[in-house]
Structure 1
Amino acid sequence: MADDVLRKFTNDNGDFNHGLTKDIRGMLSLQDMSYLNMGESSLYKANEFSAKHLRLAIKYLEPSLARYVRRSLDHPYHVSLMQYKARHHLSYLQNLPTRNTSIENLALAEFQIKKLQHQREIKEVKRWDPAAAVDSLPSYMISCYKALYTVTNDIAAMVRKEHGLNPITHIKQAWAAFFDGFMIEGKWLYTNQAPTSEDYLRNGIVTSGAPLVFLHLFFLLGHDFTEGNNDRILRIISCTAKIMRLWDDMGSAKDESQAGLDGSCKELYHRENPHGDAEKHMLKMIASEWQDLNRECFSGTNSTLSHTFIRASLNFARMVRVMYSYDDEQRLPILEDYTRMLLF
C-alpha cells in the first residue's frame, strides 16, 4: 500500500522528486510515515531521502523551526512517546507569530490531567510496598520469595475475580524462566565463558523482564492464550523485549562498566566482528524489530487482542528509547525531562 501511495512523488527511476525538499512540513510527514515500515522498499527510500534533506535544511531554517526539525529527526513520531512529542510540538506552536490559544489551552489541560493520573498511579504502586516488608523472617532470600509469592498470587486472584481466568501457572512459569535466564548469565560470568551474540540476545530477551511484564499485563486485561493468538502474542512480546535489550546494551554497557563476560550485545558483536560497526548493526536490528512489531500491530488480521494491549506494546517500545538515551556524560537527559514533564 505504501508503495502505491508514494509512487506519485517519484520519478520514472523510482527516486523521490527533488522539488519535494522545499516543503519542510511535507518532508517531516514523509519522515514520520517512513517509521511505519513493515518491509516496504519505498519506505526505506522515504526515510533516507527525508532524513538527508531535512538535516541539510536545518542550517537554513529559522531557529524555532530548525529546533523542531532536529527534535523530529532525533525522536520520530511513531517510535516516540506521544506525550513527549506533543509537548515539543506545543513548544513550537507557542513560538509561531500566529497562535491558536484554544488548542494550546486544550493541550495544557490534557497535560495536567495526565500528570494527575500518573501521580495517582504512583500512589497505587506504593501501596504494594508493605507486601515486600517481611522483617520478621531470618533470611533475606525467604523474605524476597515470600514477597514475590504474595504479589504473584494477589495478581492471579485479581485476574480471577475480574475476568474469571486463572493465570497462576503461566505466571509461575514466566518467573521461573526469568530466574533461569539470570542463572545462565551467572554461569557465563562464573566460568569466564563468552556466549555468542545470538545466544546472549536470545537469553537477554528473557532477562530484560519485558516478557514477564507483558504476561502480567496480558492477563490483567482479561486475555487468555488460544491457538489463534498464541504465536502473535509471543512475537509482539519478543519484538518489544529485543528492542529493549538492544537499546539497553547500546546505551548503558559503558555506564555499567561490567568486568565479567555476561557482557552486552555490543561487546560480543565486537568480539565476533572486530572491524564491524556494532552500533550501526544494533540500530539496524532495532529497526528490523520495529518493522516486525508494526506488522503484528497493524497488519489488519483478525485478532482477539485488545487495542489496549497493542497500544501498550508500542508504548513500551517507545519508552525504551527514552530510558536508554545516554548522553556523552552517561546521563539520561531525555528521561529526566520526560519525568519532570509527567510528574512535576
Structure 2
Amino acid sequence: MFDRLLSVKFEQLATPRLVIDSQLVRRNLEALQQYAQQHNLLVRPHAKTHKSLRVAQEQLNVGSRGLSVAKVGEAEVLSQECDDLLIAYPAIDASRCDRIAQLAKKINLRVTVDSQEGVDALANAAKLHGTTIGILVDQDVGFHRTGISSADGVVELAKFVVNKPGAIRLDGIFFYPGHITAPPDQQQDALQRIDVQLQRTLKRCQETGIEINVVSGGSTPTAFQSHLITCQTEIRPGTYVFNDMNTVRGGFCSIDQCAAVVIATVVSTAVAGKVVVDAGTKALSSDRNWIIPDSGFGHVIEYPEAKIVRLSEEHGEIDISNSPSRPRLGERVAIIPNHICLCINLHDTVSWLDGAGKSERIPVDCRGMIH
C-alpha cells in the first residue's frame, strides 16, 4: 500500500526527507468532500497542517469553501490562492489587527473573538484602513482553551459586535470539539451534547434578533461524524489531508490513508538491539503519540515491530529487539510521524510525488509563520 512512497527511497535524495503522495492526498480530500456534500456541509480545512499553496490549491479544486489558518502570516501567504479565509485564533495586539485589516481589503476575511477587547481591537484597525472584517464569536463547547462557555455570554458578545458601527460584521459562531477523541463509533453522545449547547445559543440569538449565518466547527477526529452536530454549517479539519500516527492509533483513519512519510537513512548499527537513523527531533518533532504515549516517536513502515524509542536533535534511535529482521547500515526507511502538523513545520521543502510517480520538490510556504 506504500509502494509509491517507498519507491522514492531509491532516488538520490538527501535525508531526512519528507515525502508526500499526491494521490493519497487527493483520495483523502475527495472522501471528506463527498461526505460533506452528502450532509450539506461546507469544508474549510485548517491549513496549519500543510502550510502549502500547492495543497491549498488541491483543497480548493476539490470543493473546499475556503481555508482556515491560525496566524496572520499564513493568511497573507495563502491569500494568493484563496480569497475566503478564517483566522481561527484570537487577535488582540495592534500589529496583528493592523495586518488583518489591510488583508481584508483584498479578500473576505473572518476572525474569531471571545472578548470585547478583541472586538474593539479589530474594529479600530478596520476603521483605520476603511475595511470590513467578519466576526465569529467563539463558544467553548468543552475543550476549555478559548471561547465563552455560556449561551448568554455568546449572545452578549454578539450584540456587542452588532452594535459596533461599520468596520466589523457579525457572521456567526465558532467552536472547536477538540476534547472529543473517542473512536468514531463512540462519539455520538458527546457530539449531540454539543449540538444541544449550540442550539440553545442559536435560539437565544434568534430571540434577541441576532442573525447567525455561519456555525463553524469540526476537527479531524470528529470529521466524519460532523452531521451529528446538526446546526453547524462548515467543518475545519486539518490533519485529515495527510493523516499521521495520532489519527491512525485513534481509529480516525487507516494506516494506508497516511500520505506523508519521513524517509531516513540508517547511519549506525553499532549498538546491540538498536539502529540509529538521521531523523531526530528536527525532522520528526518530539511529540509522543497522544493515544498511546509509549508507542514511540512514529512508525517505521518496513519494520512495524521496531520502536523509535529516543530522539535527539539529529538522531532517531530505533529498538529492533522485537523485530524479526533488522535494517542494514545505509538502508533507507520510511517513518510515519506521530504529529504531521509539527513535522511539516520543521521542513523547508517536501518531495511531492505526482500521479506518474515522479518527485517534485515544493516549498512549505508558511513554514515558521508564528505571527
User: What TM-score do the two structures reach when normalised by structure 2?
Assistant: 0.24
Structure with the bigger percentage of strand: 2
User: What TM-score do the two structures reach when normalised by structure 1?
Assistant: 0.25
Structure with the bigger RCO (C-alpha within 8 Å, sep 6+) is 2
Structure with the bigger percentage of helix: 1
